[in-house]
Amino acid sequence: MAATHPRDLPLEEARALVERAVDKASQLGLRGGIAVVGASGSLVTASRLDGGGPGGMARARSKAWIAATQQIPSSEHLQRMTSIAPPVAAGFAAVSPEAVFPGAGGIPIVRDGVVVAGIAASGATISPFFPDGVAPELMSVAGRPANPEDLLIAYALGVPYVGQHGDDSARWALRFGDLGVDAEDSLAMSGAPPAMDQPELMWARALADRVLGEASSRNLAVAVAVVDRGGDPIQQDRSDTAPAAAPAVALATATAAALYGCDSAEIAARFAGAVDQIAALHSQPLLFAPGASVLLDGSRVVGAVGVGGPPPDIAAQLAGANR
């Protein structure tokens, strides 16, 4: 009998989960990122809501990686890491660079009894704390508090809400005082309308979709990253048969192009003999190779799109098709 090899959650399914989370976040006025990482440890997809700012996507990805690869909620992983000998915890971090942010909130995704991915959210206002300006009814499940971060993931997965961040009631009291919500008035898990107030995210998704569509027409498996002018990702996707390293290549070339305001292939020539020094200036991994095109609004740099998976010259063609 032929061996059956495990698979990551397909991109189409992962995109649908993230889209549900984006819809709920938009309804609640939250800003941040949502990421799905396959059980292989390779990113499948991630989206950043408008105004999310840098850092949230990286935190979401780290927690999703933990949930996917350790096959437990990241809150349980965090409890384990804080209860074992410090050298052991340090050793785990050293050999698990994707687990740089071991926070709570990452949840495994199971299909047919097998973990195929992990999902998590984080960002500017995606946290376990209740934000200003949101109706308390939208933060309550069956008369009980439901914190925003864990609510987004429960809603995306269509599972009952379970808080992953400790005492929701204490944080509720800080925000709403002794205000209570009756069970019949609790609307946290009610359906959210499609997000219509995310123009930057919609722009980034359209760019990513064009790359994926063109790659598919050429029978190429790729990853694509669309970043802002500071190199922080807005949209990332990996087609189902793309190499596991493809998302890292796409992001590293896109980040380089955005930060230096030119296509990634040009940077090494501009800084001949000093590539290592300029790479050391930045905390993000940079790749000065063909594969990413800068994105302009008139003469203003607004971001970049990077492609990973195929040979660099082909990746550059796909990225350049978005001009």
- Give the pLDDT confidence of 185-229 residue by residue, as tens digits: 999 999 999 999 999 999 999 999 999 999 999 999 999 999 999
**Domains in the chain, ordered, with CATH?**
11-185 (3.30.450.150), 199-320 (3.30.450.150)
9 in Cβ contact with 118 (< 8 Å): no
pLDDT tens figures, 26-63:
999 999 999 999 999 999 999 999 999 999 999 999 99
The owner of tokens 């071991």 is: 102
pLDDT tens figures, 262-311:
999 999 888 888 888 888 888 889 999 999 999 999 999 999 999 999 99
pLDDT band (50, 70, 90) for residue 153: very high
Q: Burial letters for 41-51: b for 16+ Cβ neighbours within 10 Å, e otherwise?
A: ebbbbbbbbbe
Least confident of 128-132, 199-203, 306-310, 318-322: 318-322
CA-CA-CA-CA torsion for 287, 222, 72, 70, nearest 10 degrees?
A: -50
Q: How far apart (Å, rounded) are the C-alpha atoms in residues 225 and 239? A: 12
pTM: 0.95
